[in-house]
A = this chain, B = another copy of it.
Amino acid sequence: MRDVYLVGAGQSDYGAFPSESYRSLFRTAFEAAVSSVPNGLEAEDIDEAFVGNLGVGGRQIGLSGPAVTEHVGLDGVPTTRVENACAASGFAVRQAVQAVKSGIADVALAGGFEVMSDMSSDATKYWLGVSGETEWERLSGTTFSGVYAQMASVHMEQYGTTRDHLSQVAVKNHSNGAKNPHAQLGFECSLEDARSAPVVADPLNLYHCCPTSDGAACALIVSEDVVDRYTDDPIRVAGVGAGSDSVGLFQRDSYSSVPASQRAAESAYEMADVTPDDLDFAEVHDCFAIAELLAYEDLGFCEKGEAGQLIQSGATELGGDLPVNTSGGLKSKGHPIGATGAGQVVEAYKQLSGDAGERQVDAPTRGLTHNVGGSGGAAVIHIFEKESEVNA
């Protein structure tokens, strides 16, 4: 297998943008990614493109990949839409890695987008619902907040996790998001704010749930044969892993873990030949606060059942041993579904390039991104490392 590298990544702001289209958001992200490449990259260099998009709202159900790559001038470039619900563009990044490793492409674009802010609440419920399990979840009235609320309840019952642990996730991620100019909810929240918010699906309240968002993100993946053209300080895609599972939560053995994340982590750590101790930061899929706590355990940041203690210890804050969701996460930065996975890679790129501004982690060598589809029907993990630091 030849080595592959991340040489650029960029995103649009996340938020509600009534005057933007999915194409204009994608173009903003594409241009940001291209202009982030240290030694420059031309659109003509791109051999292949993968675009993640759930297609909520029914704007463009088919061929949304070519619809956006054409718009950014990638005429004729093989473009494939990839979709695994909220993990759509995490899997698009994985496809770009496979395309480049396969030798079929030397330079691949992986991106994603979603426009959600112009939908009514009923439409949102419908379009997100048809990514969940139909018979026993959606048609019986369960929403994604309901599904994650069940996971939270079980984790609280089994391991003594508290509502305050959930709220601490919100406090941390908002604190980070307040330092990210692209964040949708870029303001701080206090523990008291997070405690006293209205209930969405008990035990989850408003501060335990991510917003719906418009946005786009892109990343550029290249082969070892061409990486020197684009950067003098390469960031290697050291590991990639993925897993799948039943779409419905009720079909799984456990409500308090996400086996697809565990499988993805195992593969990614093995391929990168690292352990969680070797990570300097991580972006994990915190669509709901409980999801971040489950990720701590599924990805091996702590032992099973100890995620509450980990968030409470401060270890995952900026300045802690393993800062998590320095971007603000889905909670504060926002969650434009199809863009989220690629957007996590944007944060990894910024951190490893030393361009994360006020939220910069101190000289990181290695970071991880973790993107989940649905309530865990699919998960994908990437590990990025700065070669100059690894070899130092």
Contact = CB atoms under 8 A, between A and B. Distances in A.
Contact of A59 (B80, B127, B130, B374): B130
Interface in A84-130: 84-86, 91, 94-95, 97-104, 127-128, 130
Contacts of A80: 82, 84, 91, 94-95, 242, 378
Contacts of A336: none
A32 B152 CA distance: 41
A1 B70 contact: no
A81 B82 contact: yes
A13 to B, nearest CB: 24
Task: Determine which residue in A66, A242, A374 has the highest number of CB atoms from chain B within 10 A of its CB, and name it.
Answer: A66
Nearest to A60: B130
A246 B263 CA distance: 38
Contacts of A55: 61
Nearest to A133: B67
A243 interface: yes
Main secondary structure of the interface of A (DSSP, over half): mixed
A10 to B, nearest CB: 22
B260 A61 contact: no
Contacts of A95: 80, 95, 98
A75 interface: yes
Given A91-B80, A378-B79, A62 B131 contact: yes
Report the contact-size class of chain A (Cβ under 8 Å from the partner): 35 or more
A245 interface: yes
Contacts of A63: 84-85, 131-132, 247, 373-374, 377-378
A369 to B, nearest CB: 16
A91 B85 CA distance: 18
A318 B377 CA distance: 45
Interface in A45-93: 49, 54-56, 58-63, 65-67, 69-70, 74-86, 91
Contacts of A247: 60, 63, 66-67, 70
Contacts of A128: 62
Q: Which 3 A-B pairs have the closest CB atoms?
A: A62-B131, A78-B242, A101-B102
14 contacts: A1-B103, A60-B134, A61-B61, A62-B130, A66-B373, A67-B247, A69-B244, A75-B245, A76-B244, A76-B263, A77-B244, A78-B378, A80-B84, A95-B98
